[in-house]
Amino acid sequence: MKKMNKSIKFLSMLLSIAMVSVFISCSEDDDPIIIDEDPVVSDGFYLLGSSTGDTPAAALELGAGTVGSGETREGFYAAYIYLEAGSFNFVLYSNNEPTSYGGSFEGTPLAGNEDYSLNRGDLTVDGAAVTITNAGLYHVHVDLTTNLFFFTEVGYFEIIGSATADSWNSGQKLDVKSASAEGVVFEGTDITLRTGNTAFKFRYNSNWDTNILDDAEVDIEGLNIHSNFGVDVVAGGSDFSFDESDANFTVTVTYTPGKGESLTWGYEKTGEAEEISYDPTEHPWSLRGTAVGSPEDWSTGPLLTPNHDGSTYRWYGVIEITEGEFKVADGGVWLGVGAATDNSGVLTGTDNFMMSADDAGFYYIVVTTSDDGASYTATIDKASFGVIGSATAGVTGGDGWADDADMTEGTSSFTLNIALDAGEIKFRANNAWEYNLGGDLAGLTHNGDNIAISAAGTYDITLSTDNRGETYTATIQ
DSSP string, 279-337: -GGG---EEESTTTS-TT--S--PBPEEEEETTEEEEEEEEEE-SEEEEEE-SS-EE-B
The whole-number average pLDDT for the span 401-416 is: 96
User: How far is it, in rounded angstroms, from Cα 333 to Cα 331?
Assistant: 6
Nearest to residue 138, comparing CAs of 180, 83, 58?
A: 83
Other beta carbons less than 10 A from residue 321's beta carbon: 26
Q: What is the pTM of this model?
A: 0.63
Per-residue pLDDT of 200-231, as tens digits, reads 999 888 877 655 554 444 445 555 566 778 87
Interatomic CA distance for residues 338 and 350, integer angstroms: 8
Per-residue confidence (pLDDT) for residue 109, from 0 to 100: 63
Structure confidence by residue, pLDDT tens digits, 89-145? 999 999 989 999 999 888 766 555 666 677 888 999 999 999 999 999 998 988 888
Specify whether the CB–CB gap between 436 and 430 falls below 8 A: no
What does the pLDDT look like over 336-394, one tens digit per residue? 999 999 999 999 999 999 999 999 999 999 999 988 888 999 999 999 999 999 999 99
C-alpha distances in angstroms, 220 versus 6, 169, 216?
Answer: 76, 32, 9
Query: What is the C-alpha separation between 123 and 89, in angstroms, rounded?
Result: 10
**For the purposes of burial, counting CB atoms within 10 Å of the CB of 154, is it exposed (0-12), middle (13-18) or buried (19 or more)?**
buried
Q: Which of 392, 455, 452, 445 is nearest to 424 (CA)?
A: 452
3-state secondary structure of 7: helix
pLDDT at 7: 38
pLDDT reported for residue 309:
59
pLDDT digits (tens, 9 = 90+) for 378-391: 999 999 999 999 99
